[in-house]
Amino acid sequence: MKLLWAILALPFLLTLNSQAQLDTPLQDNPETPVKKEVVPTIPETIRILKRDIRNAALGNASSFEVGIAPPPPDVSNLGTNINYHDGAVMESTHNVYIIWYGNWNGQPATTILPQFIRDISGSTYQDINNTYFDNSRHITGNLTMSTQIFDSYSQGTSLSDAAVTNVVSRALNNGLLPTDANGIYYVLTSADVNETSGFCTIYCGFHTRATLRSTDIKYSFVGNLDRCGSGCEWQQISPNGNVAADSMANVMSHELSETLTDPDVGSGWYRTDLSHETGDLCNFNFGTTYTAPNGSKANLALNGRNYLTQQLYIDSGTGGCVMSYVPITGLCYNAYVSNIGFLGFVCDGDVGGTVHQSRSMEGIEITAPSGYSVCYQVYASGIGWMSTVCNGGFAGTQHQSRQIEAMKVWFTAGSGHVEYFSELSNLFWTGPSRDGQQTGTTGQSRAMEAVVIRAFH
């Protein structure tokens, strides 16, 4: 059935996607990126899709099949069909820096693209990335469009990967941009500049990281896509009247999601391998579109402007490509942990409990958002399912060394859903469950060590 669906979907070309992974060896030179993850061109996307269909038909492990083999230790086993690999995500408000490389005089992109970053900040589109978390906190959808500078061909018009790194390094070393570990740096090149490792032939852009000025710097390359034509530009009439800029906004969104969810390239969120990060799984998949005033296709309206941007993969439910996520804020929880006690309240998808410390949760308090009522029930070792408690009441035991092994959470007032993940001994993160479903195990003596709980419409 999966194979048949994929064959039928081929005319649409892009309902699934992956990206080509290009690795460079780890070197002591901080100017050389370790790995880069690319946004494949449209023809490359089709090639990859055909490969995955062929592999699925042959029964080979591929990006097309989900969950072919169990994940190794410290890799999440989630029902969203994307796995967490135990590394950090970018949690706080994110500062965006742009290096306009080459000649951008009089180009509308210098207005359109910074405005795009401002427009998506805090939007329900950007909030899709909020569904991802690490062992401490979840990602925030807030962006700050920070400093922009111009670089007039400091590395010439033919850039290698190392030259792109040097563009960023030069800006930091000369004090033109701050050295910001929480920053996201874009190198945007004009139409007369080529990136020699496969720009326009293999990819439309990439993201990577490098240690610069003793700091872990995350950056992306996105070139002027007029250079690539139909290889990277979906339409030749675009919502903001500039095909290159509108197409670049789409690639920038792809790389932004992947930088947030896998900033160090390989330790964050992806499916099966590094060529299937969050942006790749929906590459050039725009979902439902509408016709903008100038006759172009668009699918995102923000602050009076229209954009055509790919859908993003969501870590919720069973996963999938979506255009929005609407969180409900104010759902908070306080884990009671063995040998520590209460850890203090966290909220809205941050981690309650401990990870990799072998400390069992023994109890929990959960408080509801304003206008809501929340109830919950825990399964405690040696007792079983305990009585339901609600709205800040304590569920579990204290000073009895009885670990929580399973839990259920649900709203009894207010519209929306409660969704929750659990980190279990010897299983790492599992879930999600929602609206009274069980998370965790019963009868297996597996301690629940941490939880992530959130609500959404």
What pLDDT is stored for residue 74 in this prediction? 59
Local confidence band at 179 (pLDDT 50, 70, 90 cut-offs): very high
pLDDT in tens, 37-64: 899 999 988 887 777 777 767 765 443 3
Question: Tokens 């929340």 — which residue?
Answer: 374
What pLDDT is stored for residue 58 in this prediction? 76
Local confidence band at 417 (pLDDT 50, 70, 90 cut-offs): very high
Cα-Cα-Cα-Cα torsion 211, 202, 292, 103, nearest 10 degrees, comes to: 60
What pLDDT is stored for residue 93 in this prediction? 87
pLDDT in tens, 276-311: 999 999 999 999 999 999 999 999 999 999 999 999
Distance, CA of 143 to chain centre: 14
pLDDT reading at 275 higher than 60: yes
405, 448 contact by CB (below 8 A)? yes
pLDDT reading at 10 higher than 80: no
Q: Is 37 helix (H, G, I), strand (E, B) or coil?
A: strand
pLDDT in tens, 99-148: 999 999 999 999 999 999 999 999 999 999 999 999 999 999 899 999 99
What pLDDT is stored for residue 14 in this prediction? 38
Local confidence band at 268 (pLDDT 50, 70, 90 cut-offs): very high
- Of residues 424, 450, 449, the one with CA closest to residue 73: 424
User: Biggest alpha carbon distance in the chain?
Assistant: 72
- Of residues 190, 105, 180, 102, the one with CA closest to residue 146: 180
- Percentage of residues of the chain with pLDDT beyond 70: 88
pTM of the predicted protein model? 0.89
Question: Which residues is 375 bridged to in the sheet?
Answer: 390, 410
183-189 and 215-223 strand pairing: parallel
pLDDT reading at 7 higher than 70: no
146, 95 contact by CB (below 8 A)? yes
40, 17 contact by CB (below 8 A)? yes
259, 267 contact by CB (below 8 A)? no
Local confidence band at 246 (pLDDT 50, 70, 90 cut-offs): very high
195, 159 contact by CB (below 8 A)? yes
- Of residues 202, 172, 198, the one with CA closest to residue 187: 172
- Measured CA to CA in angstroms, residue 427 lies from 154, 422, 430, 442, 445 at distances of 50, 10, 7, 14, 12
**CA dist., res. 34 & res. 343, Å (int):** 37
Contacts of 253 (CB under 8 A, 6+ apart): 116, 120, 279, 309, 310, 312
Residues found in the chain: 457
pLDDT reading at 155 higher than 50: yes
Question: Tokens 């033109």 — which residue?
Answer: 176
Structure tokens at 265: 């390239």
pLDDT in tens, 62-92: 433 333 333 444 567 689 999 999 999 999 8
Phi, psi of 270 (to 5 degrees): -170, 165
Task: Report the pLDDT averaged over residues 439-450.
Answer: 96
DSSP class of residue 128 equals: G
What pLDDT is stored for residue 69 in this prediction? 35
pLDDT in tens, 320-379: 999 999 999 999 999 999 999 999 999 999 999 999 999 999 999 999 999 999 999 999
**CA dist., res. 67 & res. 79, Å (int):** 9
pLDDT reading at 381 higher than 90: yes
Compute how many other C-beta atoms are within 10 angstroms of the C-beta atom of residue 437.
Answer: 15
- Of residues 33, 161, 172, the one with CA closest to residue 97: 172
What pLDDT is stored for residue 63 in this prediction? 38
pLDDT in tens, 199-221: 999 999 999 999 999 999 999 99
Task: Report the pLDDT averaged over residues 238-265.
Answer: 97
Question: Which residues is 453 bridged to in the sheet?
Answer: 420
Compute how many other C-beta atoms are within 10 angstroms of the C-beta atom of residue 287.
Answer: 14
131, 315 contact by CB (below 8 A)? yes
Mean pLDDT of the chain: 89
Rg (CA), the chain: 23
337, 451 contact by CB (below 8 A)? no
109-120 helix and 243-261 helix, angle to the nearest 10 degrees: 40
Local confidence band at 160 (pLDDT 50, 70, 90 cut-offs): very high
